Amino acid sequence: MRQLNTILLIDDDDTTNYLNQRLLSRAVTDATIRVVKNGEEALQYLRSAASQTPDFPRPDLILVDIKMSVMDGFEFLEEYEKLENNLKDNIVLLMLTSSASFYDLEKLKQFPSVLKHYAKPLADADVREIVQKYFS
């Protein structure tokens, strides 16, 4: 069974982060939830997590928004795909989006690391599905 110890939320919307954090912390009570505001901060976090320090636990699940300032979700994905495999191994990567545009959903298909996309904010059913599908 795969453990869900650390969740990394990548989103610049404080309200969405608050809602997602509350929902995730209720559903996965023993998980650590880290929040960063853009793809650049997420890449820095992942590189720090590679050193396996307690301040930067390696995420088991990454939820990334598409539309963000500084470095958006697609720019993050382009850089994420270039990371060494040991930085990405066994990480479940899912997209969050308020955009249901055909263009965005088609573009997601270019990134094999993305397993699925969800509308934001997450719903109880989404979290149950994620936990059951990827962590049980």
Q: Which pLDDT score is estimated for 113? A: 93
73-122 pLDDT tens trace = 999 999 999 988 888 888 999 999 886 678 888 888 899 999 999 999 99
CATH of the domain spanning 6-134: 3.40.50.2300
Q: Do the bridges between strand 92-97 and strand 114-119 make them parallel or antiparallel, or are there none, so unpaired?
A: parallel
Q: What angle do CA 114, 132, 2 make, to 5 degrees?
A: 75
Q: Where are the domains of the chain?
A: 6-134
Q: Which pLDDT score is estimated for 108? A: 87
Task: State percent of the chain over pLDDT 90.
Answer: 68
Q: Which pLDDT score is estimated for 1? A: 59
Q: Is the pLDDT of residue 41 over 90?
A: yes
Q: Strand runs (DSSP E) across 41-129, as ranges? A: 61-65, 92-97, 114-119
CB 35 within 8 A of CB 132: no
